[in-house]
Amino acid sequence: MKTKYITKKKKSPKQNKFAPGQAKIRELQEEYLVKKEFKINSTTQSIYFSDSRNMSELKDNSVHLMVTSPPYFNVKEYSKDYSGKDLGNIDDLDKWFEEINKVWQEVYRVVQPGRKIFINIMNLPVKYNDVSFRTLNLVGKTIDSCEKIGFIFKRDIVWHKTNGVRAHFGTYPYPGGLLLNNMHEFILEFEKPNPKKIDKYGHLTREIKEKSKISRDFWLSLKNSDVWLMKPEKSGEGRTHIAPFALELPSRLIRGYSYLTETILDPFVGSGTTLKAAASLGRNGIGYEINRDFEKIIDDNLNPKQLELVAV
Ligand SMILES: C[S@@+](CC[C@H](N)C(=O)[O-])C[C@H]1O[C@@H](n2cnc3c(N)ncnc32)[C@H](O)[C@@H]1O
């Protein structure tokens, strides 16, 4: 595996005639875009440690598939960055939608017409007035937002988790306060329209198409049900990132909806699960991650020894 760093200015740093203090240095550093490239398995995995609300490094219509799970607003603490760049640290739900939608808008620009995006998201149970709980309608609103941007909503897939969030026993044995364990998340499938009927697989050779063929068994394992049973990554102490999704999730989608050598995007890289799946399946990957603290975890995840562990 070869790793390469490319550092360039995203926009010119402001000139400061005085020696910059720590705060200023930090501000200047933040204006540098850091791209890290891994050459693995004849693929290139590129990671921009940058804000995915602006993916100006990527050309229009250049991505063949997007798979991601967004940070949930102010529920999990991914970082101590409250500058507004970390979309996981936004307190107001409407504001969170507004900012996340900027990412979906960018995704719309860069995805090739006729191709798919998959968003892993759940209706989030939250504490309400610190006593009871309510569930936030994130799924329905995400569908509405993405349709407004122009995507076609194709279907939702239910990810049935084997160890979801266990609720306590409520009013047992008396009826009324029955709390259900939360055992599922959604994977929302959208398509970018292709009004000009561009041949969306025109860039692929016959050989690549043949090599990308999937077995009948795997095809059926995707097709037979829109409820997919997949074991989540380890939780608690044994987990290296705060909310990684199951490796099987991007692996299934990449095999099912893209071809060898194509480009897969994850605008919220986290621990790098999507890129790990892409590398092991012979696809190029592009990811954005705002939190540089995850670099080591990403490095470990993209280690070729780890890639051999990919099971689909
Ligand atoms: C739910 S996690 C993604 C987990 C990932 N699927 C995995 O398997 O590890 C969301 C990630 O989005 C990142 N993030 C938050 N705001 C961002 C932004 N503006 N641009 C890029 N990444 C951002 C967070 O730092 C966090 O790592």
Segment 134-143 shows an average pLDDT of 95
Number of domains in the chain: 1
Q: Is residue 265 part of a domain?
A: yes
In angstroms, what is the span from residue 296 Cα to ligand 1's centroid?
A: 15
Whose structure tokens read 């504490």?
Answer: 127
Q: Percentage helix, strand, coil, to 5, in the chain?
A: 30, 30, 45
Residue pLDDT, tens place only, 73-120? 766 555 666 677 889 888 889 999 999 999 999 999 999 999 999 999
Least confident of 118-122, 126-130, 207-211: 126-130
User: Which CATH number do you get for residue 84?
Assistant: 3.40.50.150
Q: Is residue 300 part of a domain?
A: yes
Ligand 1 touching residue 248 (CB < 6 A): no
Tell me, what's the pLDDT at 163?
Answer: 76
In angstroms, what is the span from residue 289 Cα to ligand 1's centroid?
A: 6
More confident residue, 217 or 162: 217
DSSP for 202-218, written as a single string: TTS-HHHHHHT---HHH
- Work out the pLDDT band at 304, boundaries 50, 70, 90: confident
Ligand 1 touching residue 86 (CB < 6 A): yes
Query: For ligand 1, what atom is nearest to the CA of residue 288?
Result: 21
Tell me, what's the pLDDT at 133?
Answer: 80
Query: For ligand 1, what atom is nearest to the CA of residue 266?
Result: 6
Residue pLDDT, tens place only, 17-76? 434 454 554 454 455 679 999 999 899 999 999 999 999 999 999 999 999 999 987 665
Tell me, what's the pLDDT at 7?
Answer: 63
**2 neighbors 36 (Cβ within 8 angstroms):** no
Nearest CA to ligand 1 atom 27: 270
Q: Is residue 15 part of a domain?
A: no
Answering whether pTM is above 0.75, one says yes
Nearest CA to ligand 1 atom 13: 268
Q: Is residue 23 part of a domain?
A: no
Q: Is residue 164 part of a domain?
A: yes
Query: For ligand 1, what atom is nearest to the CA of residue 267?
Result: 21
Burial 283-295 (b: 16+ CB within 10 A, else e): bbbbbbbbbeebe
Ligand 1 pocket mutation, candidates 49, 56, 87, criterion most atoms within 8 A of CB:
87
Ligand 1 touching residue 286 (CB < 6 A): no
Cα dihedral 25→26→28→30 (10° resolution) = 160
Q: Is residue 6 part of a domain?
A: no
Give backbone dihedrals phi and psi of 32, rounded to 5 degrees, phi first. Answer: -90, 135
Ligand 1 touching residue 244 (CB < 6 A): yes
Tell me, what's the pLDDT at 114?
Answer: 98
Ligand 1 touching residue 49 (CB < 6 A): no
Segment 188-213 shows an average pLDDT of 97
**And the tokens for 142?**
């995400």
Give backbone dihedrals phi and psi of 104, rounded to 5 degrees, phi first. Answer: -60, -35
Query: For ligand 1, what atom is nearest to the CA of residue 72?
Result: 1
Tell me, what's the pLDDT at 82?
Answer: 67
Give me the count of residues in the chain: 312
- State the CB neighbour count (10 A cutoff) for residue 52: 26
**And the tokens for 143?**
């569908």
Ligand 1 touching residue 245 (CB < 6 A): yes
Distance CA 59, CA 286 (A): 12
Ligand 1 touching residue 287 (CB < 6 A): no
Q: Is residue 24 part of a domain?
A: no
For the cut 70, the answer to whether the pLDDT of residue 257 exceeds it is yes
Q: Is residue 17 part of a domain?
A: no
Write the single-letter amino acid at 14: K
Q: What is the mean pLDDT of the chain?
A: 86
Structural domain range at position 279: 31-307
For the cut 60, the answer to whether the pLDDT of residue 240 exceeds it is no
Whose structure tokens read 């799924």?
Answer: 139
Ligand 1 touching residue 189 (CB < 6 A): no
More confident residue, 4 or 172: 172
Instruction: Tell me which residue of 148, 128, 145 sits closest to 136, measured CA to CA.
Output: 128
Tell me, what's the pLDDT at 238?
Answer: 46
Instruction: Tell me which residue of 302, 254, 306 sits closest to 281, measured CA to CA.
Output: 254
**13 neighbors 45 (Cβ within 8 angstroms):** no
* E strand intervals along 206-298: 227-230, 263-266, 284-288
Q: What percent of the chain has pLDDT over 90?
A: 67
Q: What percent of the chain has pLDDT over 70?
A: 81
Ligand 1 touching residue 120 (CB < 6 A): no
Query: For ligand 1, what atom is nearest to the CA of residue 99?
Result: 19
More confident residue, 7 or 170: 170
Residue pLDDT, tens place only, 149-195? 999 999 999 999 987 777 888 899 999 989 898 899 999 999 999 99
